[in-house]
Structure formats: structure tokens, C-alpha cells
Chains A and B, each alone.
Chain A
């Protein structure tokens, strides 16, 4: 950040502390009625222990409709049609309707109430939150609209374009505002308490603009955020609206799980050599599109694709590297899903030129010797022998990997290669082999980088509509590694994971 931006950040913080943020609570009676109905149903299901998959799916669907409408400018009529008809979720309602004769009459009554309030909601053509933006006086200055939920970016864009007079505005995710952005106004579609639930208090504590509007439905307006956690409890004042809510908000009805909960599990591997290193790191589970999921180390970084709307189509506008801890639902995360690709050795050989054949022969010699030793002894025995010689990373899996022509060699040549060559009695060739490994590794890295750049370049301008529908999209370059872009659907609760689990794609168990 440059010094001028930093000064802006201090000015904005000072202004928010002195003047507070503007709270705008908007009456949205149809949504309030629907909310009461779905919560009643949810409570009845819990108390009657009726929590099978069908009812759980129904509960989630109602939660999804509610949170999407309460925290975004989407049109209710459009959203309900999109979810039920275009995404086929009306099947969930049909399944529940067929089960109604067999359930407690109170549940039947609650369900029918949900359906009738949903029908009323479906008749609302314009989201009242969106309508209210016209009164926010944003003309002639840069405005950022903070949306956590960007599954239907095109719809959000369309709704906002109808009410925002200024042309200088943008939809952003909350996490982007951890870094200073140039803005005069920020409009957040959330009540204060939700910022706390989603660990997004930084939007108010470290504001990027002096003028912050919190736009939320009147029936759920309220909450407080402390300016600091280290001294006296000074709350950031929300000016203009009185809380309409008991501060002990239950988030158990929210479709967007707060950070300290997980509503899904990732299938874990059996206790195999996958976790033979035994090293554990703090990891976060993520539910991805297509019923898949993965863990990322809390401190790792991941590549995400950025999108923008061009002529009504969501297109890739670039990629950026972010901390895995900042990854949120709605992000598009890039993952390598098939190996290095057969093109890497070919391109690497082109880089090495006439030397390539000689280097490959040297590689072949020590790998053949290692394979013949492994044919006579168990990999565990070889691992133990190598460890005795100082090669601490010599696990059975690593040793088998070293045999593979796809692997160039070990990381620490001075210790591990020397130990291995001593064991297979080729230590007199150490200099030659180490030199070959280093040259090949450099050439492979360069080839991989070249192919990767080509693959990533092919992403620019790609139509992501299918990705948002299916939840994932595979991108394959010319023979290089394939990447899959996954839509992040949910973030789970942080837990300790074996470091080998990180980035490994798994199935999701609900």
C-alpha cells in the first residue's frame, strides 16, 4: 500500500469511529414471514427428530432462499424460479410433499405455511433492499457493493444497475476489503451481527471508505462490533436505525455457516502411508462444487480466478493468489487435477538440447539399480537403511516415487542422494548424478512454468457460466497439466490435518 492510501485508511477509520456507520433497515414483510415460517418448521423438525436427508435438503433450500434474498439485491421472483425450476430444486419440494401424509400434523402445517409464504415472496418483483439503494446518494463517486454471495453475479449486477445512478461502482467480496481499495462509499448487504458471525468485523474496524452503509432487512437488524478487542469495550456506532433484534442471535438457521461450524464432512483416507510423515498442520475444509471438497493449510496460498461481467456473460478476468484463510464461498479456486502432463519432458528435452539424452541415461542408471534393490528387499527395509545413513525423508512412498521416471529425484541431494548411492554402491557417480538431477530439474521447472503460463493464459476471457451452474470446470492446456476450477460452496471448521491431506480432492459427506 502506498503512503497516500495508508493515510486514507487512517482518515476512514477516524471518521467511522467519530461518525459511526449508517444503518439502513428496510421493511421486507414477505421475507420476514417466510423467515418465521422456515424457522418454525426447522424447530419442529429438530424437536421431532425428523432429520432425514429429504427434510434436511428442504431445510437447506429454505435457508438458501432466505439468506440469498436477505443479503443480496436479487429479485425474489427471479431467485425462487432460478433455484426451483432452472436448478431443479423443485424436486426437493415434490419429495417432501409426497412424505407429508406420513408426518406429524404440526410439521405438515409448518411446511404448508412455508410453502404459502414462499409463494407470496415469489410474487415480489423487486428486492426492497435494492430499492433502498436509490436513496443512498451515491452519485458522482466510487461505490463498492459488498456481496458475500456471488453465485448469481449477473443478476446482482442487473439489479444494481437499475438503481445506481453513478457509473463508478463495483461488486466486491468482503475479503478483498482487507486490502485498501479506492472508494468513497461502501454498501454492505448485512446486519451488524452477521459481520461478527462471519469474522468480517474488519469491514467496520478497518474501513476502506469513510462512508459505510449497512443495508439489511428490518426484522433482522441489530448487533454490535467492538472497535478494538484489547481495550475498553467501545462499539462502532450504527447511526440512523434502532436495533430490532435480540442480540443473542442464533445462526443455526443460516445457510451460510459461520466460521466456527461445519455442515459437511470430507471423506478421510484410511490410516495409510498417506500420513506417514506424521506432521500435522492447522487446516480448513472446503466444500467445492460437484460434490467434492478439500483441505487447505491455514497458512497456504491458493490461486483463484477472478470474474467480470462482459455483455451479460461471466468471464474470467484474471487470476490472483490469496491466503487460503481468506477463501470464502463463491470464490473460484484453481486446482491441478491431473499430473504434470506428458509434454513437460518433451519441452524440457528441447530446452536441454543435445545434452538431454546423456542426462536421461544417467538418470536411468541409478533408478534401474534402485529398482533392482527394491526387487530383492522390502521398501521398508530400504527406507530404514537410508534413514540410518541420514536420509530422513526416505519413506517407502518416497523411495517408490524416486524409482519412477516421472520423478526427477530427491530434494536434498547432498544427504539423501548420497545416502542412496552409498546403499546401492554407486557413490563414485555422485557428482555426475547430482549434476544431471539438477540440470533436469531446472529444465523441467522451466518447461512446467512455460506450459502453466500457456494454460493460465488460455483462461482469460473464458465463459464461466457453466462453472457457476455445475460448480466446476476443467481447463486443459496443450498436453500440460489439467486444472479444474471449483466453485467454493462452503467453508468448514478449522481442524488439525496431516500435511499430506492438503489440496487432495475428496468426496463430500453431508
Chain B
């Protein structure tokens, strides 16, 4: 954990605060402008905070209840020797045991994997900790290859590593599709950032946490949109996180009814222009009292106000 610097958590905490404000139906839409040394990764970490707050779970939930929630779902099981397998979690009423039916090569499906009828890993209580929801569902309608299972194992490891850092609950992968935020900016760069490992020598990307709609595997379990600058906000796009650019004026206009975070990169050629736009918007609305507490490191500068 010590490998993760402070600033990603600061951004995630900001995401949590914005999500909390957006859930409070009494608060008018909020703008938080954040001026950062670089735009890279900022939208994603704020998004992680939003998701974390959305998924905030009952800490007192027992491990057994967590396992119960996963019955019938695809899971990744980490065995005692460190090996990871993909399969489906079952509950045997006769033996009162949980079992993971491993996905293996079957005669029926020549190139893809199927649920094994014979290889079932019976779970004792000590195994529960090693059971995580897979980041995508392996069901009978969807062909699953060995490579996909391996990738899912790797992403689930990411979730296991990053989850505690960003307060993402262990069952995070098992949620229904809902767009919690839309990050609007350099889409290619954001997708590239999504795949990068954040911790040294371990699979630790943000992909399995953020699950953007643009990746087809998350069609039925997406949590956000990563969009280019010409994107126009729709009603169901959640909180807007906008990387400031020359189109910022348009973005501010079309997101006037939304909670939003505006990211200003101090290295950007448009920094002054975009700062002026944000400052103007603030000057018009500064009589609106802000009820959100933001605690950020010194390298960040911020301005927060309700914009309508």
C-alpha cells in the first residue's frame, strides 16, 4: 500500500465528496474546478472515488453473507498455492458447502471453455477470503476462452490490490450496469491510463474498477463512460468529469444541470482561457454557499460553487 502516493487518494476522496453531494437531493448542482500539474489519471482517480462511495457497503457484513451474494455468479478463486482459477460459485444444500465449478476445456466446446462437471473446489471457511467476483460473467450464452479467464484473474487481482487502497468493497465486480460518471476529455489517453499497472510488479490496473461502457465486455456491467471532448451530456450520464479544453464553454453549458468536476491542467495550452471561464462562472454564482468539504494537497488548487 505504501507504494501508492498521496495524490490519487486525494482525488478519490474528492470523487467521494462529489458523489455524496450528488446523492443529497437537497443540494443544487455543484461545480468543483481543480487545477492540477497534469491532467493524466486525474479523471480516473476521481471516478474511482465516485464508484467507491456508490459501492460503500456495510462494513459489518459477515464474510459468509458476502459469499452468499456471489452464489450463481462467476468468481475467481485464489487457491492456497497462489494459483487462480475461474468458475461459478454454487451452494450444495445437502452438504451445506460452497463450491466453485471450474471452467475447463470440455468435449462439447472444442475451442472455448465450459463448466466442468467433475472439477469442483469445495470451499472451507479459510478459502472464503480467496473468492472474488470475476469482472465479467462467464455464462452459457457467452463463449469463454482460457485467455479471457486469465485476463479476468489478472484484473481481479487488480481489484484485490487496489480495493483496500480506494475503499472498494470486495464484491465490487458483482453490480448491475449504471453510469455513475462520464469522463470527458482525451479518450485515447484515458483508455491507455486504464490499462496501466499502478503498483510495481503486480497486475493493478483501474479497468476492473471503472468498467467503462466503451469496452464491450462491460456491456451489462458498466459503471462509467470515457468520452471524447465532442460528447454531449445525456440525462443518464451521471456526474461529469471534464478535462478542460477549448470546448469547455460548450461542456459547461450542456452540463448546467449536472454535478461536475472540471480539471484544469496547468501544463495545458488552454489553461488561462479555461481558468477564466471557470472564474467567470464562479463570479456569477459565488453567493451560493457550498456545503462540500474538500481537503486537498498543496499542489492542487480548487474552486467550488453551486452553479444553479
* B25 adjacent to chain A (CB < 8 Å): no
Q: Please determine whether A205 and B266 come into contact, CB atoms closer than 8 angstroms.
A: yes
B267 near A14 with CB under 8 A, answer no
- Checking B38, B198, B269, B278 against A230 with a beta-carbon cut-off of 8 angstroms, the contacting residue is B278
Decide: A10 and B264 in contact? CB cutoff 8 A. Answer: no
Query: A103 contacts the other chain (Cβ, under 8 Å)?
Result: no
Q: Is there a chain A Cβ closer than 8 Å to B268's Cβ?
A: yes
The CA-CA distance from A161 to B18 in the complex, in Å, is 52
Whether A48 is near chain B, meaning CB under 8 Å from some CB there, is no
Q: Residues 259-298 of chain B: 1 if any A CB is under 8 Å from the residue's CB, otherwise 0?
A: 0000011111101100110110010000000000000011
What residues of chain B lie closer than 8 Å to A231, measured between beta carbons? 35, 301-303
By a CB distance below 8 angstroms, the chain B residues around A12 are 37
**B7, B33, B297, B302 — which one has the most chain A CB atoms within 10 A of its CB?**
B7
Q: How far is the CA of A231 from the CA of B193 in the complex (A)?
A: 29
Question: Contact: B35 with A323, CB < 8 Å?
Answer: no
Given contacts A230-B278, A299-B246, contact A205 B267 (CB under 8 A): yes
Whether, in the assembled complex, A69 has its beta carbon less than 8 Å from a beta carbon of chain B, the answer is: no
Q: Give the one of B198, B299, B302 with max A CB within 10 A.
A: B299
B188 at the interface (CB under 8 A from A): no
Query: Which residues of chain A are near B33, meaning CB under 8 Å?
Result: 230
Question: Contact mask B168-184 → A, CB, 8 Å, 1/0?
Answer: 00000000000000000
Q: Of residues 193 to 238 in A, which have CB atoms within 8 Å of B's CB atoms?
A: 199, 202, 205-207, 227-231, 234
Are B278's CB and A206's CB within 8 A?
no
Contacts of B264 in A (CB 8 A): 230
CB of A211 to closest CB in B, whole Å = 15
Is B82 engaged at the interface, CB distance under 8 Å to the other chain? no
- Known contacts A2-B196, A178-B269, A299-B246, A230 near B275 by CB under 8 Å: yes
A9 and B37 form a contact (CB under 8 A): yes
B299 touches A17 (CB 8 A): yes
B158-200 Cβ-contact flags toward A at 8 Å (1 or 0):
0000000000000000000000000000000000010011100
A206-B265 in contact given A3-B198, A6-B41 (Cβ < 8 Å): yes
Q: How far is the CA of A206 from the CA of B38 in the complex (A)?
A: 7
> A2, A10, A299, A326: which contacts B299 (Cβ < 8 A)?
A10
From known contacts A229-B276, A229-B279, A230-B33, infer whether A1 and B297 are also in contact, taking CB-CB under 8 Å: no
Is there contact, CB below 8 Å, between B299 and A14? yes
Given contacts A1-B40, A13-B37, A299-B246, contact A206 B301 (CB under 8 A): no
From residue A472, how far is it (CB to closest CB) to chain B in Å?
26
- Interface contact B271-A202, CB-CB below 8 Å: yes
Q: Which residues of B contact A9 (CB under 8 A)?
A: 37-38, 40
User: Is A18 interfacial (CB 8 A cutoff)?
Assistant: yes
Tell me the complex Cα distance, A9–B276, Å: 24
Residue in chain A with minimal CB distance to B6: A10
> In whole angstroms, how far apart are the Cα atoms of A386 and B193 in the complex?
48
The CA-CA distance from A325 to B273 in the complex, in Å, is 13
Known: A229-B276, A325-B269. A6 touches B301 (CB 8 A): no
Within the complex, the shortest CB–CB distance from B295 to chain A, in Å, comes to 14
Q: Which residues of A contact B301 (CB under 8 A)?
A: 227-228, 230-231, 234
Known: A1-B40, A228-B35, A299-B246. A7 touches B5 (CB 8 A): yes
- Residue numbers in A under 8 Å from B267 (CB-CB): 177-179, 202, 205-206
Chain B residues near A352 (CB-CB < 8 A): none
Chain B residues within 8 Å of A11, by CB:
5
- By beta carbon, the residue of chain B nearest A10 is B7
CB pair A206–B37 under 8 Å, yes or no, is yes
A26 touches B (CB below 8 Å): no
> Do residues B272 and A199 form an inter-chain contact, with CB atoms below 8 A?
yes
Contacts of B275 in A (CB 8 A): 228-230
Whether A326 contacts B272 by the Cβ 8 Å rule is: no
Nearest residue, chain B, Cβ from A205:
B266
The residue on A at minimum CB distance from B198 is A3
Query: In the complex, A186 Cα to B41 Cα: how many Å?
Result: 24
CA distance A445 to B275 in the complex (A): 42
Contact indicator A3/B269 (Cβ below 8 Å): no
- Contact string, A1-41, partner B, CB cutoff 8 A, digits 1/0? 11100110111111001100000000000000000000000
Indicate if the CB atoms of B38 and A229 lie closer than 8 Å.
no
CA distance A205 to B266 in the complex (A): 6
Q: Measured between C-beta atoms, what is the minimum distance from B231 to chain A in Å?
A: 17
Residues of the A chain whose Cβ atoms lie less than 8 Å from the Cβ of B272: 199, 229
Residues of B within 8 A of A156 (CB): none
The yes or no answer to A356 lying at the interface (CB within 8 A) is no
Interface string of A181-200 (1 = CB under 8 A from B): 00000000000000000010
Looking at A3, A11, A14, A178, which has the most chain B CB atoms within 10 Å of its CB?
A3
Does A180 have its Cβ within 8 Å of any Cβ on chain B? Answer: yes
B266 and A3 within 8 A (CB):
no
Contact digits for A351-366, partner B, Cβ 8 Å, 1 yes 0 no? 0000000000000000
Evaluate contact between B40 and A6: CB separation under 8 angstroms. yes
Q: Which residues of chain A are within 8 angstroms of B268 by Cβ–Cβ distance?
A: 178, 202
Q: What residues of B have a CB within 8 angstroms of the CB of A180 in the complex?
A: 38
Within the complex, the shortest CB–CB distance from A144 to chain B, in Å, comes to 15
- Complex CA gap A125/B301 in Å reads 46
Residue ID in chain A nearest B246 by CB atoms: A299
When distances are taken between beta carbons in the complex, the residues of chain A under 8 Å from B7 are: 7, 10
How many Å lie between the Cα of A202 and that of B267 in the bound state?
Answer: 5
* Interfacial chain A residues near B302, Cβ < 8 Å: 230-231
Residues of A within 8 A of B282 (CB): 230
Find out whether the CB atom of B269 lies under 8 angstroms from the CB atom of A10.
no
Query: How far does the alpha carbon of A417 sit from the alpha carbon of B226 in the complex, in Å?
Result: 37
What are the 4 A-B residue pairs with the smallest beta carbon separation, nearest first? A228-B301, A206-B267, A229-B275, A13-B37
Besides A206-B37, A206-B266, A231-B303, 19 other CB < 8 A contacts? A3-B41, A3-B193, A3-B198, A6-B38, A7-B7, A10-B38, A12-B37, A14-B297, A17-B298, A17-B299, A179-B267, A199-B272, A205-B266, A227-B301, A228-B266, A229-B271, A230-B275, A230-B303, A325-B269
Question: Could you pull out 19 A-B pairs where Cβ atoms are within 8 angstroms?
Answer: A3-B193, A3-B196, A3-B197, A6-B38, A7-B7, A10-B299, A12-B37, A13-B299, A14-B299, A179-B267, A205-B271, A206-B265, A228-B266, A230-B278, A230-B279, A230-B301, A230-B302, A234-B301, A299-B246
Q: Contact residues of A with B, CB < 8 Å?
A: 1-3, 6-7, 9-14, 17-18, 177-180, 199, 202, 205-207, 227-231, 234, 299, 323, 325-326
